[in-house]
Amino acid sequence: MTITKLAAGNWKMNGTSKHLSEAKTLAAMHPASSVEVLLCPPATLLASMARIVLGSAVQLGGQDCHAKAKGAHTGDIAAEMLFDAGAGYVILGHSERRADHGETSADVAAKVEAAWDSGLVAIVCLGETEAQRDADETLAVIGAQLAQSLPAGANAENTVIAYEPVWAIGTGRTPSEAQIAEVHAFLREHAPDAGVRLLYGGSVNPDNAASIFAIANVDGALVGGASLKAADFTRIISALESSSPG
């Protein structure tokens, strides 16, 4: 089975209109690609960025959505709104959402269904804390999150799974290659569809990307800070292209 690899950049709460030039540069660098290239900017930039990257290999996604299609939910954004603004993907269940907003895996599952209903591919994030890693609970935690965050019907066409150890996000620390391999082998075995793409996230940068992409069952990356600059993100994309059979 051939899996098209994915380099996804999560801008988080960073970026205003003056930063659209980075997306323009990235699009110019990647008019085509053997892998999928994705930027997930703040929702305020989606529509403008969609016009900028049109015709290039760069696709767009949102960073969260509400479980409801519409209604009295001040400050929230519906999946259909993201789709309308130019998104094809949405990140759901990121550890920052789980920690900062108290989202449970059940909440994530409801959002995944909303994303599917609006034609978005859900990138579902899973990951253990440092305390859980130290207690040797990683696979139990990942297994529970996987089972509880994915509704029935998850498959390679509508879902991507991203493993992001909480203790490695934004810290400059990464798990060992053996630790990443162990979790990705577990996810491959327990994913609802053999073709579901498995991303690694957590302090991915241009210097460590190639070694991470060489690990079995790693189909790409969910990149944070290193995706904010086109010059950095393109090096990660190039490393993924080099690892791709396509």
164 is catalytic: yes
DSSP secondary structure string for all residues of the chain: -----EEEEE--S---GGGHHHHHHHHHH-SS-SSEEEEE--GGGHHHHHHHHTTSSEEEEES--BSSSSSS-TT--BHHHHHHHT-SEEEES-HHHHHHS---HHHHHHHHHHHHHTTPEEEEEE---HHHHHTT-HHHHHHHHHHHHS-TT--TTTEEEEE--GGGTTTS----HHHHHHHHHHHHHHSSSTT-EEEEESS--TTTHHHHHTSTT--EEEESGGGSSHHHHHHHHHHHHHH---
Strands 121-126 and 89-92: parallel
Q: What pLDDT, on a 0 to 100 scale, did the predictor assign at position 5? A: 98
73 is catalytic: no
Strands 197-201 and 58-62: unpaired
Q: What pLDDT, on a 0 to 100 scale, did the predictor assign at position 42? A: 98
Catalytic residue among 96, 103, 128, 164: 164
Q: What pLDDT, on a 0 to 100 scale, did the predictor assign at position 170? A: 87
Domains and CATH numbers, the chain: 6-243 (3.20.20.70)
Q: What pLDDT, on a 0 to 100 scale, did the predictor assign at position 173? A: 87
Phi, psi angles (nearest 5°) of residue 118: -100, 5
Q: Give the pTM.
A: 0.97
Q: CB neighbours (10 Å) of residue 148? A: 15
Q: What pLDDT, on a 0 to 100 scale, did the predictor assign at position 246? A: 56
Q: What pLDDT, on a 0 to 100 scale, did the predictor assign at position 174? A: 84
Segments in the chain below pLDDT 70 = 246
Catalytic residue among 94, 103, 128, 184: 94
